[in-house]
Amino acid sequence: MKKKIRIVGVLSLIIVIGLLFLSTGGKITGIMLTDYSISEDGNVMTLEVGVASSIGYIRTFKASEDGNKKYITFYSTYGLNSNIGAKDEFQVELHPSCDEIYFYRGNGEYKLKLQKNSGTNEWERTK
């Protein structure tokens, strides 16, 4: 009987830990742009980002394009506030026609973070 209780306890613990692990790694909404740079040929932008809250780390991102706009969604690391696999610098490929970059802010909405100045053709942060 003790052996069965022990097995059920261990299996329950494994299931709880597995569910906690699988329930993380989702989209992050509080992303701050700390710095950015453009490659010499203008095809790649390096973004340095951080999380606005004290909880959470960034693991990866996914980018999509819609005409001249690039939409970026960042994803958290796996585990409860784990920094394993965390990054703060990401390289984004830019199409020559791209002149606006948006970050995901939740509820299917994106916020404009960077915009190319039409007069100087230089990237600038938005306010």
* pLDDT tens digits for range 31-42: 999 999 999 999
Q: How confident is the model at residue 127 (pLDDT cuts 50, 70, 90)?
A: confident
Distance between CA atoms of residues 46 and 39, nearest Å: 8
With respect to residue 4, please indicate whether it lies within any of the assigned structural domains.
Answer: no
Distance between CA atoms of residues 63 and 79, nearest Å: 23
With respect to residue 105, please indicate whether it lies within any of the assigned structural domains.
Answer: yes
Do residues 125 and 119 make contact, with C-beta atoms less than 8 angstroms apart?
no
- Please give the residue range of the domain that contains residue 80: 26-125
Distance between CA atoms of residues 77 and 42, nearest Å: 29
With respect to residue 19, please indicate whether it lies within any of the assigned structural domains.
Answer: no
Mean pLDDT of 60-81: 92
Q: How confident is the model at residue 15 (pLDDT cuts 50, 70, 90)?
A: confident
**SS3 for 94?**
coil
Domain count, the chain: 1
Q: Give residues with Cβ within 8 angstroms of 7, minimum separation 6.
A: none
With respect to residue 91, please indicate whether it lies within any of the assigned structural domains.
Answer: yes
What is the overall mean pLDDT for the chain? Answer: 89
With respect to residue 10, please indicate whether it lies within any of the assigned structural domains.
Answer: no
With respect to residue 18, please indicate whether it lies within any of the assigned structural domains.
Answer: no
By percentage, how much of the chain surpasses pLDDT 90?
63
With respect to residue 94, please indicate whether it lies within any of the assigned structural domains.
Answer: yes
Assigned token pair, 75:
């994803």
Asked if the model's pLDDT at residue 84 lies above 90, the reply is no
With respect to residue 67, please indicate whether it lies within any of the assigned structural domains.
Answer: yes
Mean pLDDT of 64-68: 94
Which pLDDT value is given to residue 56?
A: 84
Q: How confident is the model at residue 20 (pLDDT cuts 50, 70, 90)?
A: low
Residue 101 has φ and ψ, to the nearest 5°, of: -125, 130
Assigned token pair, 9:
């306890």
